[in-house]
Each structure stands twice: as structure tokens, then as C-alpha cells.
Amino acid sequence: MEVLGIDIGGSGIKGAIVNTKTGELVSERHRIPTPKPATPKNVANTIKEITDHFNWTGKVGCCFPTPLTHGKCQSGGNLHDTWKGVQVDELFGEKTGLKFTVINDADAAGEAEMSFGAGKGKKGLVIIITLGTGIGSGVFFNGDLLQNTELGHVTYKSEPFEIYAADSARKRDGLNYKQWGKRLNKYFNHVNLILSPDLFIIGGGASKKLYKFIEYIDIDTPIIPAENKNEAGIIGAALAAEIGIK
């Protein structure tokens, strides 16, 4: 089965056609910079550009950088305040005439990893943490997703931890990997204490650079990189549309 997967991020909106049986991309990725401001109207226009680019008429799975319940956005997140309360699947559906399934980006990345990547066949409590503009989380127990966890929003000094430890914080504060790794050490110890998972998987752009900071994270729980890297959101979103997560 082929589904168009779209990953909406703070800097780019990326789409590709995914074979949902194998998790492979069967087209080139098409990327358009996220419009500024990233309002619902502007982003919907970009989504239409992507579906038009692929001349797509089938199902679309889309992942989005905020928590969503049944396709409805629960916060403006890192995109724009006006997203809160928007029924995102309907907005994109009306704009394109196509059927959309929209889920949180870290949940989507986690789905891709559990089905086709580093989490495949892993039992117990597996937590994917995506390190990018924000910190996202996908929590799986025996392969089943607990949707919309927001482990980037546990607090540190009264602020969401992601402000202190996301990849964007590394760039903003000009940190080297040792300095960033020490911040991540505090973060992973905190999450580890709360949930005692069996495995952490690191996703987002930082998964490729894990070897640069892993030595500073001192916990007993294994930490491994995601295998689908930048494509995990696209693949997981397509999968969600195929198996009907809402």
C-alpha cells in the first residue's frame, strides 16, 4: 500500500510516498521551507503544494509538532499560537480534497522506529526522544503507542526542559557536544527516574550525532539512535494513515 507521508517541522515541510508494508520511500523527498509566519492558512497552502507536486489522490498521513487529539491541535507549539484548537485533519482535507490523518511528530517517528527501525521487536517500555527545535517523545509499551506524551515539557528551573536541552538550545547557546551532553544527561536522568524505561531511542536530526554526546549521558538504560533518521516522521505518518491511528 502506498501512502503520502508529510512531516511538518519548524524549518521544513517534507513529503514522500511511502510503501507502508516495508517502510521504504518509493519517491524522492520533496521539501518546502516552512512558511513564515507558520499560520494554519500558510501551512495549508504548503501542504497543497506538496500534494500537487505528487499529483496525489490517495490517503495522506501527516505528522505535526504539537500534541493532537483526534486530529485537533492542543497547543501552538513551535509553529504559531493560532494553531491551538484547529482541527488540522479537516483543514488540510478541505484544502486538498484528500483524506488526512494527522498525528504528533514524535509519535510518528516512534511508530516508524517500532515497525521498521531500532525499536522493531522490542518489548517492555521503549521511549523515543526526538531532539530538534523542541524535544518530542513517543512512548511504547510492548509495541503499543501511548499517544501525545510531552516529555520535552517536564520542567527544569520552571521552564520546559526542551528550552534548556533541545538541539535548538545547543545552537542558540553555542554549546559544544560536551556541554550539550551534560544538559542531556540531566534530562535523561530525569525522565529515567520518572518512567524507568527499558530502552531509549534518540530520533530527530541529533540521532546522526549520538556518538558525539552519548559518553556524557550517564544512565543504566540503553540509549540507541533511530535508524530512519530524517525520514522517520514521514514513514510513521504514512503508517498512521494506513493503520488508522487518530
Note the residues at the interface with ligand BGC (CB under 6 A). Answer: 65-67, 77-78, 104-106, 130, 132, 134, 136, 150, 152, 162
Report the nearest approach of ligand BGC to the CB of residue 28 (Å): 24
Residue number with CB closer to ligand BGC (56 or 168): 168
Shortest distance, CB of residue 1 to ligand BGC, whole angstroms?
Answer: 26
Min CB(109)–ligand BGC separation in Å: 9
Our separate counts of H helices and E strands in the chain read 8, 15
Rank residues 5 and 152 by Cβ distance to ligand BGC and give the closer one.
152
Query: 88-96 and 40-53 helices cross at what angle (nearest 10)?
Result: 50
**Shortest Cβ 125–ligand BGC spacing (Å):** 18
CA 171 distance to own-chain centroid: 19
Helices 105-116 & 232-243 angle (0-180, nearest 10): 90
Reduced DSSP (H G I as helix, E B as strand, rest coil) percent helix, strand, coil of the chain, to 5: 40, 25, 35
Nearer to ligand BGC, 56 or 162 (CB): 162
Task: Give the residue with the Cβ less far from ligand BGC, 46 or 130.
Answer: 130
Taking the C-alpha atoms of residue 4 and residue 62, their distance in angstroms, rounded to an integer, is: 8
